[in-house]
Amino acid sequence: MTDLSAPDVRDDLVTASHILVQKNILDGFGHVSARDPDNPDTFLLSRNLAPGLVQREDIMRLDFDGNDVEDSGRRSFLERFIHASIYRHRPDVNAVVHSHTASVLPFSITKAATLEPVMHMSGFLGPEIPVYEVRDHGHEGCDMLIRNSTMGDELARSLGQEAVVLMRGHGMTVVAADVRLAVFRAIYTEVNARVQAAASSMGAYVALTPEEARAADETNSGQNRRAWALWEKEVARAP
Ligand SMILES: [Zn+2]
pLDDT tens-place string over residues 124-150: 999 999 999 999 999 999 999 999 999
Q: How far is ligand 1, taken at its centre, from the CA of residue 64, in Å?
A: 18
Q: Which amino acid makes up residue 101?
A: T
Q: How far is ligand 1, taken at its centre, from the CA of residue 63, in Å?
A: 19
pLDDT along the chain (239 residues), means of 10: 71 98 96 97 97 96 96 94 98 98 97 96 95 94 93 98 98 97 97 98 97 94 87 88
The domain spans of the chain are 9-120+127-225
Distance separating alpha carbons of residues 145 and 34, to the nearest angstrom: 20
- pLDDT of 141: 93
- pLDDT of 223: 82
Q: How far is ligand 1, taken at its centre, from the CA of residue 57, in Å?
A: 23
Catalytic residue (one of 79, 154, 190, 232) = 79
- pLDDT of 73: 93
Q: Are 117 and 207 in contact (CB under 8 A)?
A: yes
- pLDDT of 123: 96
Q: How far is ligand 1, taken at its centre, from the CA of residue 74, in Å?
A: 20
User: Alpha carbon of 76 to those of 3, 119, 212: distances in Å?
Assistant: 28, 36, 40
- pLDDT of 225: 85
User: Alpha carbon of 115 to those of 46, 62, 95, 202, 206: distances in Å?
Assistant: 29, 32, 22, 16, 13
- pLDDT of 5: 62
Concerning whether 57 is annotated as a catalytic residue, the answer is no
| pTM over the 0.85 mark | yes
pLDDT per residue as tens digits for the range 54-65: 999 999 999 999
* Distance, first Cα to last Cα, the chain: 37
Distance separating alpha carbons of residues 93 and 175, to the nearest angstrom: 6
* Domain 9-120+127-225 in CATH 3.40.225.10: yes
- pLDDT of 207: 97
